[in-house]
Amino acid sequence: MTEPVPGPLEPTSDERTMATLAQVLQLVGWWIAPLVIFLVKRDSRFVSFHALQALLLQIVWMVIGGVLIIGWMAIIFSTVAFHPQGSSGPPPPIFFVFPLFWLGWMVLWAGMLVVAIVYGIKAGRGEWAAYPVIGSLARRILKIAPDGTPLPA
């Protein structure tokens, strides 16, 4: 005899609050806040789903940030290495590239801000809202359907 698979449950007020905190606290707590909430509230599929999404988004953010920093350092070192020895002042390409990197960083940060606020509001409403790519990955990791029901084994 098979066990009945529990249906979607309306998240409690506490679950909605914790899911909202997992989404919004990533702005100031980076990956640590969603990780703590994910580990503390593992028994709630709703909170785990939202916290894992925020945690995965922070991992993606750190990878992109690392690539930008490595690219910035490579440009600085290559520009300085090929800069003529007798000239004074910094190499001109640094003045062109720095604003582009800064702009890229600010666009990423603004995107993170918008995502955290929008999905924090959705979590507060009790919605199983998923990030575009990361949401399906979080669902696969947690083995849950789009409505939060556990997937059959």
Per-residue pLDDT at 86 exceeds 80: no
- The residue ranking higher by pLDDT, 81 or 93, is 81
Q: How confident is the model over 66-83, as a mean pLDDT?
A: 81
**Are 51 and 11 in contact, with CB atoms under 8 Å apart?**
no
Per-residue pLDDT at 76 exceeds 60: yes
* CA distances from residue 23 to 63, 86, 94, 100 in whole angstroms, order as listed: 19, 53, 36, 28
Q: Which of 3, 5, 14, 38 is nearest to 145 (CA)?
A: 5
Question: Average pLDDT over the chain, rounded to whole?
Answer: 84
CA distance 98 to 121: 35
CA distance 65 to 62: 5
Per-residue pLDDT at 34 exceeds 70: yes
Per-residue pLDDT at 54 exceeds 90: yes
Phi-psi region of 84 (alpha: psi -120 to 50; beta: other; left: phi over 0): beta
Which tokens sit at 90?
A: 């910094």
Per-residue pLDDT at 100 exceeds 50: yes
Q: How confident is the model over 84-97, as a mean pLDDT?
A: 70
Percent of the chain with pLDDT strictly greater than 70: 86
Task: Give the 3-state DSSP-derived string for 101-138, with helices as H, strands as E and coil as C.
Answer: HHHHHHHHHHHHHHHHHHHHHHHHCCCCCCCCCHHHHH
pTM over 0.85: no
**Are 55 and 35 in contact, with CB atoms under 8 Å apart?**
yes
Q: pLDDT band at 151, cuts 50/70/90?
A: confident
Q: What is the pLDDT of residue 4?
A: 46
Q: How confident is the model over 112-130, as a mean pLDDT?
A: 91
Residue type, 95: F
Q: pLDDT band at 120, cuts 50/70/90?
A: very high
